[in-house]
Amino acid sequence: MRQLLFVLNPISGDIDKSELEATITAFCVEHGRQAAFFHTTGEQDQQRLQTELLRHTYDAVFACGGDGTVSLVAGVLAGTSLPLGILPLGSGNGLSKDLGIPQDLPGALRLMWEHTISPLDTLRINNNFSAHLADLGFNALVVERFSAGDTRGPGAYVRIATHEYLAYEPALYRIRTDRGETFEGPAFMVTMANGNTFGSNVVINPDSRLDDGEFEICLIAPFPGTAALGVLYQLYTRDFDASLYTQRLRCRWAEIEVIGQARVLGQLDGEPLELTAPIRAEIIPRSLRVLLPPAPPTA
């Protein structure tokens, strides 16, 4: 694994990246690797990255940013043999945390030569790619407001969430899955979860796996303000299923109607997107190869 492409998002995570290229280059030179760089601009990044990969041969592509950057690169690599590496440099880095990837730059860069390559499932939401988590409802609204703002970082997200919660009106949903399970009623949030944890460390889908050929629909029902701290506590302590206001549906595909709405705001891997209802979500098994830390030796 000698020829490496690093995809850099210059604005992710409110982190200074002015020295990042030089740091990565020095690390690669020290360890006998060749580094090339691709910078996202927000303009036709997917098409430009696809063109770069057609023009040049690489052994792996590292996404350097948050979950949105990872999703961009993963969406281009899915269905190919080229593996994805992750340098977690965003506000939340939820997917890399779920995968056990070191959250420090030197530790993540060691994956260049100390790794296993594992195939992971991915999601399709109305033919849109998602590597980790997608949702409708409250969190999608907060993500949209956050993306439109000028401030990054967890503090900005919390401020927006607190403000939007006061006036939020849950929508009505109708859901059916390939297993024959159904749901109909109001929901505060509907999360289509291939992974476990949001970048904020909220565990929306405990004990799920990214390579089991299934995903979960994670529902949070509307709850009174007096229950808000309890719900939040359960989400931060991996106790999602213990709440009176939560349930999960495991499936390979699901259809979701938002009653009375033909178009609905969603978020896919931290990026807001308007979706046409009904929404079809399906798992694409073992469709993405990812560089992971090597398994610890067995006794």
pLDDT at residue 98, as a whole number: 93
- Helix ranges (DSSP H) in 86-130: 94-98, 105-109
- Helix ranges (DSSP H) in 80-133: 94-98, 105-109
Tell me the pLDDT of the chain (299 aa) as tens digits.
Answer: 899 999 998 766 555 666 889 999 999 999 999 999 999 998 999 999 999 999 999 999 999 998 989 999 999 999 999 999 999 998 778 899 999 999 999 999 999 989 999 999 999 999 999 999 999 999 899 888 877 766 666 667 777 877 878 888 999 999 999 999 999 999 999 999 999 988 778 899 998 899 999 999 999 999 988 888 888 888 888 888 888 999 999 999 999 999 999 899 999 998 899 999 899 999 999 999 999 998 766 55
Is residue 296 left, alpha or beta, with left meaning phi > 0 and alpha meaning psi from -120 to 50? beta
Give the SS3 label for residue 258: strand
d(CA 96, CA 99): 5
pTM, whole model, 2 decimals?
A: 0.89
pLDDT at residue 146, as a whole number: 77
Domain 128-285 adopts which CATH fold?
Tumour Suppressor Smad4 (2.60.200)
How distant, in Å, are the alpha carbons of 17, 158, 232, 246 from that of 235?
32, 15, 5, 10
**β-strands 253-258, 171-177: how paired?**
antiparallel
pLDDT at residue 17, as a whole number: 67
For the record, the structure tokens of 14 come out as 């409110």
Domain 3-120+288-292 adopts which CATH fold?
Rossmann fold (3.40.50)
The half-sphere exposure of 42 on its side-chain side, counting CA atoms within 13 A, is: 5
pLDDT at residue 13, as a whole number: 52
Domain spans in the chain, listed from the N-terminal domain onward: 3-120+288-292, 128-285
Cβ–Cβ under 8 Å, residues 251 and 178: yes
